[in-house]
Amino acid sequence: MDLERNNEVIGRRRFIARTQRLVRLAHQRATRTVSNSRALLRSEDARWRVLIVVGRFTAHSAIVCVLVLAVILAGLGAGAAGRSGAAAIAVPTPSGAAQGRGRSPTILTGGSILAAPGGLFSPLPAVGAANQDSSLIVRNLVFVAAKPAESRTGIITYTVKPGDNVETIAQRFGLLPTTIVWSNREIEENPDMLRVGQVLNILPVDGILYTVEANDTLSSIAERFKAKVDDILNSPLNGLANGANLLPGMRIVVPGGVKPFVPRVVQVDARRAPASDSAYAGPAPRFTAGGAFAWPTRGYISQGFRYYHRGIDIANAIGIPIYASDGGYVTYAGWSNVGYGYMVQIDHGNGFSTLYAHLSQWYVDPGQAVSRGQIIGAMGSTGNSTGPHLHFEIRYGGAPQNPLVYLP
């Protein structure tokens, strides 16, 4: 600290000395110029020469002023450098791990529908068909940093926590959501079967965890899952490179493998349903369908539409009202045995139907006509659920559609 102060004092003294020399030089030049002017006045063309001398004097003065200003600025810079010397310590650059790697999810935040301009039918963020992209995650939470796959050399396990879903777990480990689904058969048919405390397999690479069946060969497995034989054979996870045999019941990793989509049918469990909970098979009652869908509740989208997740999840708190997305009649109200808990299904009479799952309560009966925006239930966390949310589906001809394409 004393050394820095000494350097600052020396710099100031040098600056003052340079300034004094420049001022003396300017004074001497001005004196000579005035003397020359007096001599020129005695000549017959004194008038023109005085103008020339005055011009030169002005030019010299301007140069001196510029030099003085430059010295002043240099002195100020030197003083600032001296004062900040102690703080001018090189800041280490963050390491690669700290900076993050790989794809960064697109993060969008939802909002309160009822509080937004337009009321109930005002939209959440209009992400539309872009939500088909598997890298898009719509949350209002802060994601944890993805654990680099390179740091995992084998299959590990993860215990599902409250608020988890397939996409947040995949983000946590730097994997594709499909890898989580294809590595755990109990949620492959329906990711909504995810429950708190459930133990999942986590692969170190994207792909499929496959159990070998009778008559399987490396070639047939590679062809089935659109993978390469060499990738399966040489993966250190499989132990096949040293000549080990492929045996039925053996679990192997298929790096980069993909599975074809197989549509599933939502079923209900009559044994879990009270007498008033039943599917409606009678004639359709009179109702009015507007032909356009409205948001069924307020909250934020916690999981989007994917080939393995045939709807969207809108998270909020237990008891938040659930509204009919369009007019129609209730075809089912009760308990589902595929992880949906209490659910309501509405037929809109134009080929479209909607499904509302994980309800805590429902306020409609099978066969009842409902109108667009009518309250049909309350948000809950029944069935296989890690937190309060609405699982919402739009179907056309029974085929799942991306709700964000149809919602305003």
For every residue of 156-194, DSSP letters joined together read: EEEE--TT--HHHHHHHHT--HHHHHHT-HHHHS-GGG-
Mean pLDDT value of segment 107-132: 33
* pLDDT tens per residue across span 310-350: 899 999 999 999 999 999 999 999 988 777 899 999 999 88
Does the pLDDT at position 28 exceed 50? yes
Q: Give the pLDDT of residue 163.
A: 82
* pLDDT tens per residue across span 234-279: 898 888 877 778 889 999 999 999 887 554 544 444 434 443 445 5
Which of helix, strand or coil describes residue 38?
Answer: helix
Does the pLDDT at position 122 exceed 60? no
Q: Give the pLDDT of residue 219.
A: 92
Does the pLDDT at position 164 exceed 90? no
Q: How confident is the model at residue 177 (pLDDT cuts 50, 70, 90)?
A: confident
* pLDDT tens per residue across span 213-238: 999 999 999 999 999 999 999 898 88
Does the pLDDT at position 297 exceed 60? yes
Cα gap 373→294, rounded to integer Å: 7
Question: Considering only CA atoms, which of 166, 100, 107 is closest in space to residue 142?
Answer: 107
Does the pLDDT at position 374 exceed 90? yes
Mean pLDDT comparison of 67-76, 82-91, 243-252, 374-383, highest-scoring range: 374-383
More confident residue, 13 or 115: 13
More confident residue, 220 or 285: 220
Q: Which residue has the tokens 């002005």?
A: 58
Buried b (16+ CB within 10 A) or exposed e, 25-41: ebeebeeebeeebeebe
Does the pLDDT at position 111 exceed 60? no
Q: Give the pLDDT of residue 373.
A: 92
Helix (H) or strand (E) holding 129: none
Q: How confident is the model at residue 150 (pLDDT cuts 50, 70, 90)?
A: very low
More confident residue, 82 or 131: 82
Does the pLDDT at position 162 exceed 90? no
Mean pLDDT value of segment 174-189: 88
More confident residue, 377 or 103: 377
The torsion angles phi and psi of 391, rounded to 5 degrees, stand at -90, 120
Does the pLDDT at position 1 exceed 70? no
pLDDT mean across residues, the chain: 71
- How many CA within 13 A on the CB side of residue 148? 9
Classify the phi-psi angles of 91: left when phi > 0, otherwise alpha if psi is within -120 to 50, otherwise beta: beta
Q: How confident is the model at residue 4 (pLDDT cuts 50, 70, 90)?
A: low
Q: Which two tokens stand for residue 286?
A: 């009179």
More confident residue, 276 or 157: 157
> Who's near 49: CB < 8 A, 6+ residues apart?
40, 43
More confident residue, 206 or 113: 206
Could you tell me the end-to-end alpha-carbon distance of the chain, in angstroms, rounded to an integer? 65
